[in-house]
Amino acid sequence: MDHIGDDMIFEEILTRLPAKAVCRFKCVSKHWCYELSTPKFVFIHTLRVGNSTKNKLLSLKENSIVVDDIVSGDLGDDTIKTVNFPLEVHPSSLSIICSFNGLILVSIKRIHNESNDLVLWNPTTRRFKLISDDYFIRYFGRHNDTGGMYLYEDNDLKVLHINCYWDVVTARVYSPRHDSWRKLNFLNGTQFASNFYSWSSGVYSGKTIYFIVSNYWIPPGERNIVAFDVISESFSLLRFPEHIEVNPCQVLFLTISNKLHVIVVQYAGELIADLFKFEHDDWIKVFSFNKARIVQHLDPQQRTNVIQDNKWLITSICGDTVEVLLCNDSFNYIQHVDSYNGPKGALFLETIVSPSD
């Protein structure tokens, strides 16, 4: 050990340990605590964790918050862990906006004063940061309040927040490093702030955050893809693929093996759920899931978007939970889901990334 330098210990050995083990090693000494908290160490550790497939799923239940594996086959009591939210808030008041690099962006709905708070939370290290400002003293809803997270220059974490209020779309970006918000230019000429439209959670893929914006009223069945380029920090509008445009239907973005996918749940005589992959500027069908059905009442053992007995639960943009039956090929494919956000559940990796930078 005398011949092993600090660089070898911290960058080559300790960066390969699970996040919870790294947190324990911070107690060795002040020097170790400092080295294990540097931006360089956190960056290397997060990269190595990100190359694994050990995703965890955080689910907001009616009276609790639970964490388990996305694919476990058998969800027994010993695979479920209950976690506590860092603030005195009932789980029913929480909604998940997005997750990224082990951090989860959570919205707290304050019923009595009709305002919201935004909290950046690492459920692994239990650290959090309240990032709301005076702008949030107004009512926000799940269908018109969304966002995403991304890394900007010098690995500076950014939080994108989008709100629709009084027919105006407001997009802002928060920097934990500078503890400040700034406004972005949104698309001109769109009606996406109308109450007729519903926004999905954002999903990060290829330096872009994608959103589905759906209109179920006038005109019925309209769907749009809003893309946010994290390099230029600009928005663009993409056409929803015509060959999967079926009305009525619901859609959900997710990434599998770091590639953008979309689940399309169609109501055409019978319930049909298909998985498409975005490749070479086109949408290619990967699977048609078997025996899709809407689940009205979930068993306490079931989780949002978890496989159990070859059954997979999908939470749609409108909050419906759809259960599909997987075959062997689709089961193996779904095991590589690495990014999923829903109002009551999100995938995340156990990292030591700090919400306060």
Domain ranges across the chain: 1-52, 53-348
Strands (E), 101-221: 103-110, 115-122, 127-130, 145-151, 157-165, 168-175, 180-184, 197-199, 203-205, 208-215
pLDDT tens for each residue of 104-163: 998 887 666 556 788 999 999 899 999 887 776 655 566 668 899 998 877 788 999 998
Asked if the model's pLDDT at residue 321 lies above 60, the reply is: yes
The beta-strand segments (E) located in 200-325 are 203-205, 208-215, 222-229, 234-239, 249-256, 259-268, 270-279, 282-294, 307-308, 311-315, 321-325
Sign of the alpha-carbon torsion through 317, 321, 326, 332: positive
Q: Please give the CATH topology (third level) of the domain spanning 53-348.
A: Neuraminidase (2.120.10)
Lowest mean pLDDT of 32-41, 152-161, 300-309, 316-325, name the range: 300-309
pLDDT tens-place string over residues 222-270 = 788 899 999 999 999 887 777 666 566 677 888 888 899 988 887 777 8
